[in-house]
Amino acid sequence: MNPYTLSRPVCIIGLGLIGGSLLRDLAGRNHPVFGYNHSTSGARRAAKQGYDVADDLTTVLTRAEAEQALIVIAVPFGAVASVLDQIAQHAPTTGITDVVSVKSHVYELIKQRDMQHRYVGGHPMAGTAQSGWDNSQQGLFAGAAWAVTYDYATEVDKVGPEWTALFSDVVRLTAMVKAEAMPVRVDGHDEAVARVSHLPHVLAESLAVVGDRGGILAQSLAAGSFKDATRVAGTRAELVRQMCETNAPAVVKALDEILVLLHAARDSLAAPEPSIAELASAGYSARTRLEARSGARAESVSPVKISSRPVLRLSPGGHGWVSQLRQAESMGGRIEVF
């Protein structure tokens, strides 16, 4: 089978920035895809643009069951439980994935409903400060990491062929939209995104407030460093709350780490001989390592985009494949399935 083609249609529940962009990408590649949007007007606008979209959840889920579509849950976390309940009722045997940015709480909801055997979690590391269907766009996921969880394969003695087929299809889904599937377990994912996604949001919000307090002079003087650093503060407050509050323990841990660094910097700058030597040097080294690992190639002048993530090709369900997933996870690698 073509490693870049799913074996089933895709049904997207929730057509905001992520769900909408996914729908556009799949439709653009002529893969069978249909979706549901909570907002009647949003659903109508999408339908008017020629997409197969409706605003009645029962109908959409019933169709997903009939077509054995892969259901992608792309609603805010607060709505996930109720969508899962609807799926249990109207699409009791389909495969399920999601794009929610915190994975442990979703997995709890899945376990409460005993759906682990039909669920593979996902999280595309892509987005803009904008949200909603009208901001969704083709190509949003190109080159982005797309976390794919595999906890279930580590929790049971041997996963069945249905789950491995589902896992494969979720990986193929990410490949179809040119994202890079990174296998992770739920806890490792949540700890990592607290550091590299949720903490940056908290800092951006705080910096925006401090800059704003400087009044119009400070804002008028603000240049690239400030604008870049506060960009994600333009994200709707509800979305930031959802990310940070559902991942609170990991975000608190990351905050505690950065608070230690900031207090140390503050104290050494307040000393009779002000110094920020230690932090400036550590930060520069950290950033340089980061660029060497991920940034440099992506910013290459070459028109051919080369991924800096190591790739591991594996056959889901094959001998030792779960060890291969762990290995890929430990080196921040991406996978392809065959």
Site for a copy of itself, residues 67 to 96, rule: CB under 8 A: none
- What's the CA gap between 186 and 100, in Å, rounded? 12
Considering only residues 101 to 130 of the shown chain, the ones binding a copy of itself according to CB under 8 A are 125-128
Q: Binding of a copy of itself at residue 324 (CB under 8 A)?
A: no
**Closest to 34 in 3D by CA, of 94, 80, 118, 123:** 94
- Comparing CB distances to a copy of itself, the nearer of 1 and 264 is 264
Q: Please report, as residue ranges, which positions from 126 to 185 form the binding site for a copy of itself (by CB under 8 A).
A: 126-128, 144-145, 147, 182, 184
Report the amino acid identity of residue 300: S
Among 275, 300, 315, 323, binds a copy of itself (CB under 8 A): 275
Contact status, residue 132 vs residue 42, Cβ threshold 8 Å: yes
Spatial distance between the Cα atoms of 73 and 233, rounded to a whole number of angstroms: 25
Among 269, 296, 300, 305, binds a copy of itself (CB under 8 A): 269
User: 311 forms bridges with which residues in the sheet?
Assistant: 334
Q: Which of 69, 83, 199, 314: binder of a copy of itself (CB under 8 A)?
A: 199
**Interaction pattern, residues 284-303, with a copy of itself; x per rule: CB under 8 A:** xxxxxxxx-xxx--------
Q: Which of 1, 28, 160, 263 binds a copy of itself (CB under 8 A)?
A: 263
**What are the strands, taking DSSP E only, across the chain?**
10-13, 33-36, 53-54, 70-73, 96-98, 122-124, 145-149, 180-184, 311-314, 334-337
* Contact status: 240 vs a copy of itself (CB under 8 A): yes
CB of 289 to a copy of itself, least distance (A): 6
Q: What is the end-to-end Cα distance of the chain in Å, rounded?
A: 8
Question: Least distance to a copy of itself from the beta carbon of 252, Å?
Answer: 5
